[in-house]
Amino acid sequence: MPNVLKTEKKIAVIAALCEGMAIRQVERMTGVFRDTVMNLGVRVGQGCAHIMDEKMRNLECRNIQVDEIWGFVQKKKGNIKATDDPRQVGDAWTFCAIDADTKLVPSYKVGKRDSVTAKAFMNDLAGRLKNRVQLSSDALAAYVDAVEESFGADVDYGQIVKAYERDESNTPERRYSPAKLVKVYTEVITGDPLPPFISTSYIERFNGTTRHHVKRLARLTLAFSKKLENFEAAVSLNFAYYNFVRTHRTLKCTPAMAAGVERSFWTVADLVEMTT
C-alpha cells in the first residue's frame, strides 16, 4: 500500500508519472511494485482533483479556449461488446479549458464526446469564472447548447471551423497522416467576440503537452487505463502538476502564479504531502 512507502519513494514515483512515464517504466526505475505505483497514483490524483476544485474559484480570466482530447479505457470503441458498460469502458474524452493569457487550466471533465459531458464541463467552467469572458472552441455541435445553458448571454463566444479534405486511398502511407486542411474560418455564436481572438491555438498546443505528460493519452501507446477512475486520476494529477508545479517557459512561473491563484512555486513533494 502507498502509506508504507518512504516519502522519498512516493515523490520519485509521482514525479515520474507527472513526466509521462508508464506504470511499468516507473516500476523498473524506482523498484516499487506496479500495483503500488498504481494505487499511489490514483490516491494522489484524486487528491489533486480536490485541490483543483478548491483552488479554481473566482478566476479573473478574459480569453478562454476549450477543446477535447481523445483517450480510451480498457478497450477502444470498436471492440466494445454488448455485455460491456459503455459508461465505464471505450472512448474517454477529456474536455479541458485554458486561459490564453496565463495558460491556467481552470476546468476539465472526463466523459464521452456528447452533449451530456459538454454541458457538465461548461457548467463547471462557468461556475469558476468571476467575470465575462471571450470563449473559443472548435465546431463541435454540443458546445452551442452547453454554452447557452451555462453562460446564457453573459459570454462572447465564437467558433473556429476547419474543413478537411478526405483521402479515400487508404494506403499504409496515409493511415496515420493528418487530413489535408482546406479551409479555416471563424463564426460568431453569442455576444461580440473579437475576431482575432477566436482561436484554439493555445489549447491545441496544450493538448500536445498533455499527451507528452500523460502516458495513457500518448499517440499509439501501449499504456492505457483499465478503470475509468484510474484514467480520471491520471488526468487530475497531470493538470495539478501543470498548474502548480511545472514552470511555464514563456511565463517564467507556474500558470497558477500568473493567474494569482498561488504566490509561490509548488513541488511534487507538496502534492504528495497534501494528498497522502
Give 22-30 contacts, CB < 8 A, sequence gap 24+: 22/215, 22/221, 22/222, 22/223, 23/223
Give residue 93's pLDDT.
96
Q: What is the CATH number of the domain that holds 71?
A: 3.30.420
Q: How confident is the model at residue 2 (pLDDT cuts 50, 70, 90)?
A: very low
Look at residue 6 in the predicted model and tell me its pLDDT.
93
Mean pLDDT, rounded, for 60-75: 96
Nearest to 155 by CA among 97, 235, 74: 97
pLDDT of residue 1: 45
Using the predicted structure, report yes or no on whether residue 236 has a pLDDT greater than 60. yes
CB within 8 A of 48, min separation 6: which ones?
A: 233, 236, 237, 239, 240, 241, 271, 275
Provide the pLDDT for residue 178.
72
What pLDDT score was predicted for residue 174? 62
Where is pLDDT greater, at 119 or 219?
A: 119
For residue range 7-33, list pLDDT tens digits in order. Answer: 999 999 999 999 999 999 999 999 999
Segment 43-54 shows an average pLDDT of 97
Residue 247's pLDDT band, with cuts at 50, 70 and 90, is: very high
Please tell me the total count of domains within the chain. 1
Domain span holding position 17: 2-275
Instruction: Look at residue 219 in the predicted model and tell me its pLDDT.
Output: 82
Share of the chain above pLDDT 90, in %: 82
Query: Using 50, 70 and 90 to split pLDDT, how confident is the model at 86?
Result: confident
Averaged pLDDT of the chain: 93
Q: How far is residue 158 CA from its own chain's centroid?
A: 21
pTM: 0.92
Residue 204: per-residue pLDDT: 95
Q: Band the pLDDT of 68: cuts 50, 70, 90.
A: very high
| pLDDT for 179 | 77
pLDDT in tens, 154-203: 999 999 998 888 766 666 666 667 778 888 999 999 999 999 999 999 99
